[in-house]
Each structure stands twice: as structure tokens, then as C-alpha cells.
A and B are shown apart, each in its own frame.
Chain A
Amino acid sequence: MNRAVFAFSIRRSIRSSLLIAVGVGLFYWVVLLASSSFLGDGTEPLPSFLTEPPRVMKAFIGGSANFVSPVGWMASGVLHPIILSLTTMGAFMIATGTGATELERGTLDLVLARPVGRVPYVAARGLAGLVMLTLVEAGAVAGTFVAYATVPGVDQLVPGRILLMFAGHWLLFAAFSTTCLAIFARASLRSRALGTAIGVVVGAFFLNFLSLLFDALEWLGYLSPFHYFNAADILNGEPFLGSWAVLAAVAVAMGALSLRWFASRDLTR
């Protein structure tokens, strides 16, 4: 890994990543605050929609939808479209400025005509991307713990499991981050690479959604990284290491592919 490229990548992205981290933190606090209102004052019975949501809603929220418990609130929060968008931005922040973007802009020639090396360049960019993702997840953890201390009901969650859940969320998006890096390492056109990378996340979400909605398509879920992250299971203390191993393997494999693709390609526009 090239330290100068790593430091440069961090410096260039830190401000945007901090803003995203603050936004994510605030959003988690809002999700938990809003969700706590489902509990009401305890005098009125909850509508059946909330106690037993329709299957399509469960599929949309990743399999478990329980709006009357803090575990359900968190599970719906981590896969909320805004959280998905913000976390994807954090995970893609540096990867999308790598390879195709620098090639199209003409800055890659200046960098790689110096004794940097292609593999150290991509490794530095990939690692910096994971640091930025960590920052965004740290914002999420901070927002959740502020809610834990201030929003009624959230303190029913186990703090250690909250941290584990966010570690799993980090792994999920680390897999997407290195996938994005691989796409940008191989591509020559920024817009095409960006479209492909976003398409991968949307497609993966859609595969998981279909697998949860239709029994006949359950097998599709295994093709999606979202299948291997279930916030409710982790918060309820269910085993998760097998799923994490799959996510980690995807992240490592895509990282290795980034290095290989970038090292072996011609750098032409």
C-alpha cells in the first residue's frame, strides 16, 4: 500500500465522509425516536399491521419487521432507503474516485508515472475507502447510542449486540465498497462504472427482496450480500459468524480482483 496515496485519499474525502457520518447518526436517532411512538401510551391496542406486518413489508425490511420492539426498529432502520443511500455513498466515496475516474480526468498518468506501483495505488485507495466507511458506521453507532440514552424503549437493546450489528453492517458495505473498487479498477469510463456499481447494490437488494417475497425464489437470496446480514438476528443474539464469513470472503475476493484487474490492464482512455 502506498502511504502517500492513502493519506491523500483520506484528506480529500474526510470532510464529505464526516458530513455523511453526522447525517447517518442523526437519521438513526430520528428512526429510533419515531419508532418509539409505535408503543403509544399502552392504553390502546396496536393495529395488526404493526404486530404482524404483511409479507411484502417484511421482505422490504430484510425479513424481520417488528415495529413494536426496539430490535424491529433497528432492523428497519439499517435497511431504510435513506440509510442505504448514505452508507452506499460512504462506502463508494473513494472507490468511485479511483481507476476509471482518474483515468478519464487524466490525473492517473501523473500519479502512476511516479514510482508508486499499481497494486500499492489500488490497495491504498481500497483501504482508505474502508476507513471512510468505518467513519460513517461510527456516526451510525453514535446516533444509536444517543437514542439509547434519550429515547424511551431503546435501552432495551443490548449495547454489545448493537456494536456487533453495526460490525455486520460494516462488513456488508465493505463487500459493496470493494466490489465498487473492482468495477472502477477495470473500467475506463466513470459514468459506466458508477452506473454498474450502483446497479450492483440495487440489484442485490432486489434479489434479496424477491427471495423473501416468493418461496420459489428463495434460492436467489444466496446470491445477494443482503441475505447474509440480518440485523434482527444479531440483536436477538442469534449466531451470525457463518454469514459474516461469507461477507468477509466477498469483500476480500473483490479486493483481490481489484488489484489483479488494475495491475494487468492497459491504462488507456
Chain B
Amino acid sequence: MTAPPIEIAGLSKRFGAVVAVSDVSLTIEEGESFGYLGPNGAGKTTTIRCMLGLIKPTAGSVRILGHDVSRDLNAALERIGSLPGEFGIWPSMTGREVLDYLSSLHPAPPVRREDLRGRFELSLADLDRQVRFYSRGMRQKLGLIQAFEHEPALMILDEPTEGLDPVMQQRFIALLREYRARGGTVFMSSHILSEVELATDRVGVVKEGKLVRVGSATDLTGERVRHCSLTLADEVPAGLLDIEGVSDLVMASPSHARFEFRGDMQPLIERLAAVHVLEFLAEPESLADAFFDIYQEST
């Protein structure tokens, strides 16, 4: 049985009196895509830097691909692709020189560079320009190429779409899906909730260094409220929506009701089967709404 790609146990990190990460425990399974959510300063980047061995934990342990990061960091890094948050690039080097240098530091060959270059529309001419002439988005593309080009077993990404335009964000999401389809595992921090919702299947919400909620993206939203709109051919019968889970009922017209619903929808669907429904919309709460609710709850 292989070890989980990421095992974090009781991880804490203090900088003097400031607690950046507090008692975080987390296991990411092989092939999983995990979103690490939180606002700026919540402790996401500190957690990632502990995972990459850039910061030494005050307490707790991090095991990456079965290797204890505090003792066997290089063995772990050989199988990781990473994109640090707010990374810098040597301004006087060309994009190609940057990629060549970084790949010379890795034992695996950069087998996917050409494919990635094409996907992110970074031309050969772009690669031969000095990085100081690159836009923010082009630098981010270079960062993504260096992270993915070795086909690592685990990707650790800190705000990966920062600076990318919407088209490139979509391509990144597609790339992530393909990577996972080939068995890759992803740990991704972000404060862009829509991106996390699209790219991950489990989410951890971090606040003031503490992991306040972990669950699948659908669990986090599914347990919660759905915004419903019901239009019948006739008037809405009295008591039709007098059912557990319905709240905030508003009659927009005699035949049109708007309400919020929590919990199991089966009893509601059974009641609606008895009337002539012209339209019924049950819009799930977005991860963003769930995130804000969780954040408020944990205050």
C-alpha cells in the first residue's frame, strides 16, 4: 500500500508571537485534487512553504509521498511540481534560459515543455525574450510550465491562476483535469473560489492559521441552502410549501413562489408531483456563498 501523497499532522508555525499556522492536520489521497481556501494572511502560503521545506514547522510533521519533509526533503521534491505564490524570475534571463536552468535542477527531463508552451500560447519568440519584458500573465505561464513540465506525481500550487486571463484560466483548469486523469494529485491554494470549485473535489477552509472546515466542495454546498423558484399553472395551494426545510418563502404572485430550501429534497419533489408545475428551479449555493457562511460561523 502506498503512502498518501500528503500527510500533515498537527502542523503549527509561529513567527515570534504571531501564529501563522495552528495545529493543521490533513491527508490528501492519491489522485485527489484538494483546494486550500482562505483570504490573504490566513496561513495558506505558510502551510505550503512548510510542505516544500522552505519553512521549518514549530510543531507537527509533514510527509510528502511517504517522505518526512524534515529529514528526507529532496526525495519528496524529486516527485513534486510546485508553483510558489509571488515567485520571481531572474529579469535579465530569457524565458528559455529560466526553464533550462530550473529543469537542470530536477532529475526528471522536461518532457511536457513543448505541449505546455503550446497550450499557454507562449511562442518560441516569447521564450527567447528577456523575462523583464514579460507581462504578469506571461510570467505566470512560465511558472506553470516549470511546474508541470516534469510530469510530477504531486502538484503543489499557490494561487496558480494569478495574472492569467479567463481563457488561460480555462486552459489551466483543463490541464489540471488531464493531469488528474493520468493519476496526478493536486494541492492548490487559492482565494478565487470559482476556480477551486471547478478544479478540486475536496476543500479545506483555513482561517487565522486554523483549518476550520474540510469537506468535498459538494458537501460544503450541498448541506446548505438552495435558492428555489416555483411557478405553477394555477395558484400555489395553501400548505403546499409548508414542509421541513423551506424558509424565507415569498409569493411573487399567486402562482409563483420563491423560497430557500435546506436538507433532503425528496419530500418536496413528492408534493410537487401532485400539482401542475410550469417551472421549478433549485439553484445550489455556490462555494463562494458557503465559504462566506463558514467564515462567518467560525468567527
Q: Do A and B bind each other?
A: yes
CB-defined contacts of A110 to chain B, threshold 8 Å: 84, 87-89, 102, 143, 146
**Is B106 within 8 A of A114, CB to CB?**
yes
Q: How far is the CB of A122 from chain B (nearest CB, A)?
A: 14
**Is B74 within 8 A of A113, CB to CB?**
no
Q: Is the interface of A mostly helix, strand, loop or mixed?
A: helix
**Is B101 within 8 A of A113, CB to CB?**
no
Would you call A159 an interface residue if the criterion is a C-beta within 8 Å of the partner chain's C-beta atoms?
no
Would you call A105 an interface residue if the criterion is a C-beta within 8 Å of the partner chain's C-beta atoms?
yes
Which listed residue (B52, B89, B105, B107) contacts A5, Cβ 8 A? B105
CB-defined contacts of A151 to chain B, threshold 8 Å: none
Count of interface residues, chain A, beta-carbon cutoff 8 Å: 22
CA distance A2 to B101 in the complex (A): 12
Would you call A111 an interface residue if the criterion is a C-beta within 8 Å of the partner chain's C-beta atoms?
yes
Chain A residue at smallest Cβ distance from B80? A113
**Is A268 within 8 A of B105, CB to CB?**
no
Chain B residue at smallest Cβ distance from A265? B56
CB-defined contacts of B101 to chain A, threshold 8 Å: 4, 8
**Is A115 within 8 A of B74, CB to CB?**
yes
Would you call A241 an interface residue if the criterion is a C-beta within 8 Å of the partner chain's C-beta atoms?
no
**Is B55 within 8 A of A266, CB to CB?**
yes
Would you call A116 an interface residue if the criterion is a C-beta within 8 Å of the partner chain's C-beta atoms?
yes
Q: How far is the CB of B75 from chain A (nearest CB, A)?
A: 8
CA distance A267 to B78 in the complex (A): 20
Of the listed residues A107, A111, A116, A267, the one surrounded by the most CB atoms of chain B closer than 10 A to its CB is A107
**Is B105 within 8 A of A2, CB to CB?**
yes
**A interface list, Cβ under 8 A from B:** 2, 4-5, 7-8, 12, 105-107, 109-117, 264, 266-268
Question: Can you spell out 5 A-B residue pairs with CB atoms less than 8 angstroms apart?
Answer: A2-B105, A112-B52, A115-B73, A116-B105, A267-B55
**B interface list, Cβ under 8 A from A:** 15, 49, 52-56, 73-75, 77-78, 80, 82, 84, 86-90, 101-102, 104-107, 143, 146
- Top 5 A-B pairs, shortest CB-CB distance: A106-B88, A109-B84, A115-B74, A114-B105, A4-B104
